[in-house]
Amino acid sequence: MTKILIIEDDTSFAQMLQKFLARNSYDVVLSHTGLDGEKQLKEHDFQLVITDLRLPDYDGIKLVSELKGKIPVIVMTGYAEVSTAVKAMKMGAYDYISKPFTPDQMLSVIDGALNSKPVSSKESPFEIPENSKGKVVNKEGEVRSGKLVLNSEATQKLEEHIILVAPTDMSVLIIGESGTGKEVTAKAIHQKSTRNEKPFIALDCGAIPKELAASEFFGHIKGSFTGAVADKIGSFEAANGGTLFLDEVGNLSYENQIQLLRALQERKIKRIGSNTEIEVDVRILSATNEDLKAAVEKGTFREDLYHRLNEFSLQIPALKNRHGDLSVLASHFLSKFNEKLNKQILDFSDEVWDIFNAYHWPGNIRELQNVIQRAVLLSTSDRVEAKVLPSELMSPVLETAEIGSLSKADFEKEQIVNALKRTNYNKSKAAKLLQVTRKTLYNRINYYDLDL
C-alpha cells in the first residue's frame, strides 16, 4: 500500500484529508509540525509527501529541497500563493495545489506524482509513460515501448494541430467537455513550444472570487488591501517567459475580463497597490467547456477578449467520439490501478467491454478512470465483471435527442444508427442496447432503408 506523509498544522483539516485518502487505499501518517515530519521521514519509508509550506517555526522550502530526487513532494498553499508555489517547484516539488481543493483534484495530483516521469518535448501528448513495474498493454495485447498511444482519427487530428500551433506564440483557445483533458492538451502545447524550459502556470478562473482575481493575475504589495500581509507576485509574473493557462476562462466576471484584456494588449501589469509597471512575456492558453461565441452574443463575454484568446482554437473530442481510444485507455487504467491497489486483474469480461462501448461517458476520460479504479478495487477474480460497475452504466444509455425538432421516424433512425456505431455494427449487441429483438432491429433497418 502506498504510504503518504502529510505535514499540516491545521489538525482538523489534516485529519479530514487523512480519512479521505485512507478511503482511497492510501496508508497515511500525519505530522502537525515540520520537526515531527523530519522525524517521521527518518523512521519510515514514504512514497509521497504532502506538505503545507506555512508551518510555524519551520522552513518548508528547505524540506522540499532536501527531498528533491528522493521522494515526490506535493505542496499545499493558501489561496493564490503563486510565488511560494513556484519557488517550491524550482526547489524540487513535484506540484502544488491551492486550498481549497476538491477531492478529485488532490487524487489527480497524487496520481501524477506517484507515476511522474520527465516528459520529453518530442512525446505525443497522448503517450502515457510506463510505470515502474511493466509495460502497458492494450486490449489487443499491443505494447508500444511502454507508452500508451491513442490512434483514433479524432485524437490524431488533434495531435497534428498541436504540433502545428505549439512552436508559435499564438494564443490558443481549447474547447471541450469536462473531463476530456483540456489541461493535458495545454501542457502538451507548452512542452512542444520554445518556452518549454520556462514556467507553465495553470489558473482555474472558475475558482477565483472576482474580488481576488486582480491579485491572482497581477499580484499585490503588502498592505494594499485587508489581508495583504506580504508582497505577492501574480500569475503573469510567475509565468513570465513561459505559458499561462487560464482554465474555464468563461467564468471570469466582466470587470475581470477588462483587466485581463488590458494586460494582454499592453503586455505590462501593475501589482495592486503599486505604480510600477512590469513588462511580461507570457503565452496565453485558455480553456472552456462553454460556448464563448454564444456568451459574446449575449453580452456576458467581451468580443475583443474572445478574439485575443482565440487566435487558434482546438476542439477536444469527447470520449464517445474517439472511436478506438476507449479500449486502449481502459486497459491502461486497468494496469495503473492494478499496481496502485496491488491487484492482478487480467482483463474485463466481454459483457463489461460491451457496456463500456455502449455507454456515452458524459464525464469522459475522467469518468472512465474513476469507474475502472472502483471496479478494480471491488473485483475479487482475475476479470472485471459487470456486477462491480456503477449502476448508471447499466441503465439504458441512448442519448436523448431533441425530440421536439425531430419526427418520430427520424428519432428512431437516429437511435438505431447510434446503437450500431457504438457496437461497431454488431446487430445482436445493438439490439440488446436498444432493448429490442434482433429480428425487430432487422425489420426497422429494412423499413427505414438504412444503408449500413
Q: What is the domain-level CATH number for residue 52? A: 3.40.50.2300
Same domain? For 177 and 81 the reply is: no
Residue 143 in any domain: the answer is no
**Domain match, 303 and 344 both:** no
- Regarding whether 277 and 215 lie in a shared domain, the answer is yes
- 301 — alpha (psi -120 to 50), left (phi > 0) or beta? beta
pLDDT in tens, 9-24: 888 888 888 888 988 8
- Domain shared by 256 and 350, yes or no: no
pLDDT tens, residue by residue, 354-364 = 888 888 888 89
pLDDT at 4: 93
Q: How many CA atoms lie within 13 A of 182 on its CB side?
A: 25
- 11 domain residue, yes or no: yes
Q: Is 122 part of any domain?
A: no
379-399 pLDDT, tens digit per residue, is 999 999 999 999 888 754 444
**What is the arithmetic mean of pLDDT over 111-140?**
46
Q: Looking at the structure, do residues 110 and 34 belong to the same domain, yes or no?
A: yes
What is each CA distance from 145 to 128, 131, 345, in whole angstroms? Answer: 11, 12, 21
Residues 42 and 169 in one domain: no
Task: Answer whether residue 283 is part of any domain.
Answer: yes
Per the structure, how many domains does the chain have? 4
26: in domain: yes
Of 267, 295, 317, the domain-final residue? 317
Q: pLDDT per residue over 184-234, tens digit each?
A: 999 999 999 999 999 999 998 888 888 888 888 998 888 777 777 788 888
Same domain for 338 and 432, yes or no, is no
**Among 114, 108, 106, CA closest to 16:** 106
Answer for the pair 212, 80: CB distance below 8 angstroms, yes or no.
Answer: yes
Give the residue from 114, 139, 169 where a domain finishes: 114
- What percent of the chain shows pLDDT beyond 90? 34
Count of CB atoms situated within 10 Å of the CB of 25: 15
Q: And the C-alpha cell for 103?
A: 477531492
The residue range of the domain holding 433 is: 403-447
Is the domain of 259 the same as that of 359?
A: no
- The CATH number linked to 412 is 1.10.10.60
From 90, 114, 138, the end of a domain falls on: 114
The predicted model gives 63-86 an average pLDDT of 74
pLDDT at 405 over 70: no
Which residues contact residue 431 at a Cβ distance below 8 angstroms, ignoring those fewer than 6 apart? 437, 438, 440, 441
What span, in angstroms and rounded, lies between the C-alpha atoms of 73 and 50?
A: 6
Q: What's 382's domain CATH number?
A: 1.10.8.60
pTM above 0.75, yes or no: no
CATH number of the domain where residue 263 is located: 3.40.50.300
**Is 258 in the same domain as 372?**
no
Assess whether pLDDT exceeds 60 at residue 442: yes
Q: What's the per-residue H, E or C state across the chain?
A: CCEEEEECCCHHHHHHHHHHHHHCCCEEEEECCHHHHHHHHHHCCCCEEEEECCCCCCCHHHHHHHHCCCCCEEEEECCCCHHHHHHHHHCCCCEEEECCCCHHHHHHHHHHHHCCCCCCCCCCCCEECCECCECCECCCCCECCCCEECCCHHHHHHHHHHHHHCCCCCCEEEECCCCCCHHHHHHHHHHCCCCCCCCEEEEEHHHCCCCCHHHHHHEECCCCCCCCCCCEECHHHHCCCCEEEEECHHHCCHHHHHHHHHHHHHCEECCECCCCCEECCCEEEEEECCCHHHHHHHCCCCHHHHHHHCCEEEECCCHHHCCCHHHHHHHHHHHHHHHHCCCCCCEECHHHHHHHHHCCCCCHHHHHHHHHHHHHHHCCCCEECHHHCCHHHHCCCCCCCCHHHCCHHHHHHHHHHHHHHHCCCCHHHHHHHHCCCHHHHHHHHHHCCCCC
169, 270: one domain: yes
